[in-house]
Amino acid sequence: MRKLVYLFAGLMTVSQYVVAENISLSTPNTTLVLSAEKGKNLKYIYYGEALTSADIESIGYAGMYNHDAYPVYGMVGAGETALAVKHSDGNMSLDMYITDVRKEKNDGKETVVIEMKDRVYPFYVNVNYEAYDDVDVIETWTEIKHNEKKPVVLNQFSSAYLPLRRGEVWMSHLYGAWANEGRLAQEPLNPGLKMIKNKDGVRNSHTAHAEVMFSLDGKPQENNGRVIGAALCYSGNYKLRVDTDESDYHHFFAGINEENSAYTLNKGEKFETPRLALSYSNEGLSGCSRNFHRWGRNYKLANGKVERKILLNSWEGVYFDINERGMDQMMCDISSMGGELFVMDDGWFGDKYPRLSDNSSLGDWVVDRNKLPNGIESLVNDAKKHNIKFGIWIEPEMANINSELFEKNPDWIVKAAGREPVLGRGGTQVVLDLANPKVQDYIYKIVDDMMCQNPDIDYIKWDANMSIMNHGSNYITKDNQSHLYIEFHRGFEKVCQRIRDKYPTLTIQACASGGGRANYGLLPYFDEFWVSDNTDALQRVYMQWGTSYFFPAIAMASHISATPNHQTFRTIPLKYRIDVAMSGRLGMEIQPKDMTEEEKTLCRNAISEYKDIRHLVQFGDIYRLISPYDNLGVASMMYITPEKEKAVFYWWKTEHFCNQHLPRVKMEGLDPSKRYVVRELNRIDNEPLSFEGRSFSGSYLMANGLDIPYEHNVDYHKKNDYASRILYLEEVNSNN
């Protein structure tokens, strides 16, 4: 039963493991296998397609498996590691062996805990795996503790490690910048170290994301090939590493970014790393996305099984110019278009320092009586009168130096001792020190007071518009200043948990300057996130495409905004703006009083049609068809119900040239044996499409697709360079 000899780079290392001690975890279509023999190292053996028990038994003979499942530093030479510490006596090495393996099954999950101890020191690591019975996701994380006489310093503390067999492995990941978030990058894994990281301190997904997908069979394909995906469930600074060294494997590590964050662990204290969610699919990138979406909706996202309301947000409509009449008019307009919720954005608060622009008042969450003499209560009642719900904007983790809060509590801000505060937005913004329990209580109270005074508030837009720019906490001891980033997010999570315990059904949006807080560490407390401050529909096609790799449409706030667009100044026709927003959680971000009656009618119609497909968009399975990043002149995707009796197909032209040859888009994911009637939504053309009301088999649509005209058939003066289509497919049955 014993194996084997492992050779590399001229060195010979003898390694052994016992195949009989293999343990496995399974989800409906995947299996993870480890070798976990007491007294030995924990070894990774396999993660991928579901295996039979016979294969699980013999898999140990199928390859050269010599990878510690959680590599530690100090006794193995030069490779990258997951955990590196300095013991209380200065020793820098770890040598962990298995002391126990526990397997449990409950609540639709199977959990394996592998307990390990250092061979010399009273230093312990538990490696945990949790597999879901109904979705193809396995979460893994570790718990670290010790009983050494003095504290141990954790210098590196990844959540997990995964070896990936070399071949032609490609990585898909998201990058960007403010107003250009969620851009898709796809690249082959080449020798060297590829690192994706965040150091913002507050928001972690503007410039890169803590999620990746690995296509194992060459260039990434949306609907074919084996893919392993990984999403780090953490709201703070992270680091993902892929080391392609001299061996046959790529070595993937993910966890908290340890830079400037060395953690001093006291005797008996437990350090728990964030979870890394792994998923595998043999149905390409879209298949892996479907797994993450299902898991996200069912287990991670707050209220992930509840349909989201269609809303109007006031920001791009009026910016800071809040007043009662204006709010009433916006509520009246969104209600008349069929919307269900109005959200009053920034600018409603401040007494001594009224919020007239972005340079004051954060922290003073009292209504500005000059703007709103009758307070929030009257707005909530006004919303009732219009038969819609009311929501409100706050940015509770922040203050301005010209605020009453800062005047009273100057020591509550994140700031290096003995230095002037570094100021952010508006030249006056500062971040509150969430490591401080008093600050945590204060933030909880902002929400609690508001909700106690106005229990009918239905929605909170929670913003966060600044990074940690100078390192220092007045609360954390001098010796432990390197804990700041970690303690900030622990504090943040505690506040969120308290809010959720009391207000489980309140809808809360993670705004974070748009796109700054799209991560699964935070989504258990938030219902959705604002995909980007950039509402330009064409650029949104690209950003929403990337974001959809890991996050379901129900979480992606997508709004119809004015033209020229306020970020890109591009003029895009309303039909296209609607068709893009309708692929996510639909909303509006516009001053309705500036819209023509014809535009309002188009929106009213779109809102009504969205209500028909809302369930399908928000809970359906995604199939991405043609990527905007492939520069074929068109992007296309669809959502399909799990029963495959309904589907919605999106087609957006991304460029316009005369006599251009756009590909005919083949559909995916339909039932080949079903017939589907096709109906166009948001129709603006003078004539219906040739296939309007016709039915086609799923097999025909998947083999051939439908020919979509490149332009809209509209009167000459309405012609423009954009075109988009939404097709609704419904199974033919006795009712149609």
Q: Measured from the CB atom, is 566 or 604 closer to ligand DGJ?
A: 566
Is residue 513 a contact residue for ligand DGJ (CB under 6 A)?
yes
* Contact indicator for 32, 47 with CB cutoff of 8 Å: yes
Helix (H) or strand (E) holding 197: strand 192-197
Is residue 346 a contact residue for ligand DGJ (CB under 6 A)?
yes
Q: What are phi and psi of 206, to 5 degrees?
A: -75, -50
Please, what's the b/e burial string for 462-500 (b: 16 or more CB within 10 A of its CB; e: otherwise)? Answer: bbbbbbbbbbbbbbbeeebebbbbbbbbebbbbbbebbb
Q: Which two tokens stand for residue 84?
A: 């590196």
Is residue 365 a contact residue for ligand DGJ (CB under 6 A)?
no
Distance CA 103, CA 99 (A): 14
Is residue 514 a contact residue for ligand DGJ (CB under 6 A)?
yes
Smallest gap from residue 382 Cβ to ligand DGJ (A): 21
Smallest gap from residue 345 Cβ to ligand DGJ (A): 5
Q: Measured from the CB atom, is 392 or 484 closer to ligand DGJ?
A: 392
Q: How many CB atoms lie within 10 A of CB 563?
A: 18
Distance CA 264, CA 261 (A): 9
Q: Binding-site residue total for ligand DGJ (CB under 6 A)? A: 12
Q: Which two tokens stand for residue 483?
A: 């804990």
The residues pairing with 390 across neighbouring beta strands, listed in sequence order, are 342, 457
Is residue 136 a contact residue for ligand DGJ (CB under 6 A)?
no
Q: Measured from the CB atom, is 302 or 512 closer to ligand DGJ?
A: 512
What part of residues 464-483 is at the interface with ligand DGJ (CB under 6 A)? Answer: 465
Is residue 529 a contact residue for ligand DGJ (CB under 6 A)?
no
Is residue 680 a contact residue for ligand DGJ (CB under 6 A)?
no
* Contact indicator for 552, 276 with CB cutoff of 8 Å: no
Smallest gap from residue 358 Cβ to ligand DGJ (A): 6
Q: Measured from the CB atom, is 51 or 457 closer to ligand DGJ?
A: 457
Is residue 295 a contact residue for ligand DGJ (CB under 6 A)?
no
Q: Measured from the CB atom, is 395 or 599 closer to ligand DGJ?
A: 395
Q: Measured from the CB atom, is 148 or 346 closer to ligand DGJ?
A: 346
Is residue 533 a contact residue for ligand DGJ (CB under 6 A)?
yes
Q: Measured from the CB atom, is 159 or 429 closer to ligand DGJ?
A: 429
What part of residues 382-401 is at the interface with ligand DGJ (CB under 6 A)? Answer: 393
What part of residues 547-606 is at the interface with ligand DGJ (CB under 6 A)? Answer: none
Q: What are phi and psi of 291, to 5 degrees?
A: -60, -50
Residue with tokens 């797994």: 291
Please, what's the b/e burial string for 14-32 (b: 16 or more CB within 10 A of its CB; e: otherwise)? Answer: ebbbbbebbbbbbbebbbb
Smallest gap from residue 511 Cβ to ligand DGJ (A): 5
Residue with tokens 């080949």: 672
Strands 389-394 and 341-344: parallel
Smallest gap from residue 405 Cβ to ligand DGJ (A): 17
Smallest gap from residue 435 Cβ to ligand DGJ (A): 24
Smallest gap from residue 563 Cβ to ligand DGJ (A): 18
Q: Measured from the CB atom, is 463 or 621 closer to ligand DGJ?
A: 463
The residues pairing with 377 across neighbouring beta strands, listed in sequence order, are none
Q: Measured from the CB atom, is 258 or 463 closer to ligand DGJ?
A: 463
Smallest gap from residue 439 Cβ to ligand DGJ (A): 21
* Contact indicator for 489, 373 with CB cutoff of 8 Å: no
Strands 276-281 and 137-146: antiparallel
The residues pairing with 286 across neighbouring beta strands, listed in sequence order, are none
Q: Measured from the CB atom, is 255 or 514 closer to ligand DGJ?
A: 514
Query: Which residue spans within 420-485 are E strands per DSSP?
Result: 429-431, 457-462
The residues pairing with 728 across neighbouring beta strands, listed in sequence order, are 648, 679
Among 511, 553, 586, 667, which residue sits at the site for ligand DGJ (rule: CB under 6 A)? 511
Is residue 536 a contact residue for ligand DGJ (CB under 6 A)?
no
Residue with tokens 């039963």: 1
Smallest gap from residue 423 Cβ to ligand DGJ (A): 16
DSSP string of 582-596, one letter each residue: TTSEEEEES-GGGS-
Q: Measured from the CB atom, is 261 or 513 closer to ligand DGJ?
A: 513
Among 110, 333, 463, 527, which residue sits at the site for ligand DGJ (rule: CB under 6 A)? 463
Is residue 530 a contact residue for ligand DGJ (CB under 6 A)?
yes
Q: Measured from the CB atom, is 322 or 648 closer to ligand DGJ?
A: 322
Q: Which two tokens stand for residue 669?
A: 């994911």
Q: Measured from the CB atom, is 533 or 731 closer to ligand DGJ?
A: 533
The end-to-end CA distance of the chain, in Å, is: 63
Coil/strand/helix, residue 172: strand
Q: Which residues contact 675 (CB under 8 A, 6 or more apart)?
A: 695, 696, 697, 698, 731, 732
Describe the crossing of helices 375-385 and 437-453 by its angle, rounded to 10 degrees.
50
Smallest gap from residue 344 Cβ to ligand DGJ (A): 10
Distance CA 223, CA 206 (A): 27
Is residue 263 a contact residue for ligand DGJ (CB under 6 A)?
no
**Contact region for ligand DGJ (CB under 6 A) — 86-94, 508-516, 562-570, 611-619?**
508-516
Q: Measured from the CB atom, is 139 or 346 closer to ligand DGJ?
A: 346
Smallest gap from residue 145 Cβ to ligand DGJ (A): 40
Q: Which residue is nearest to ligand DGJ (CB)?
A: 346
Counting every residue written for the chain, the total comes to 736
Smallest gap from residue 570 Cβ to ligand DGJ (A): 19
**Contact region for ligand DGJ (CB under 6 A) — 47-55, 100-108, 369-377, 509-517?**
509-517
Smallest gap from residue 395 Cβ to ligand DGJ (A): 7
Closest C-alpha among 202, 198, 145 to residue 484: 202
Closest C-alpha among 129, 125, 126 to residue 110: 129
Q: Measured from the CB atom, is 230 or 405 closer to ligand DGJ?
A: 405
**Contact region for ligand DGJ (CB under 6 A) — 245-253, 495-503, 510-518, 573-581?**
510-518
The residue type at 710: Y
Distance CA 501, CA 505 (A): 10
**Contact region for ligand DGJ (CB under 6 A) — 30-38, 359-367, 507-515, 694-702?**
507-515
What part of residues 306-345 is at the interface with ligand DGJ (CB under 6 A)? Answer: 315, 345
Smallest gap from residue 586 Cβ to ligand DGJ (A): 16
Distance CA 452, CA 483 (A): 34
**Contact region for ligand DGJ (CB under 6 A) — 117-125, 204-212, 506-514, 572-580?**
506-514
Distance CA 148, CA 438 (A): 32
Distance CA 309, CA 461 (A): 14
* 490 torsion bin: left (phi>0), alpha (psi -120 to 50), beta (else): alpha
**Contact region for ligand DGJ (CB under 6 A) — 12-20, 323-331, 367-375, 511-519?**
511-519
Smallest gap from residue 185 Cβ to ligand DGJ (A): 24
Q: Which residues bind ligand DGJ (CB under 6 A)?
A: 315, 345-346, 358, 393, 463, 465, 511, 513-514, 530, 533
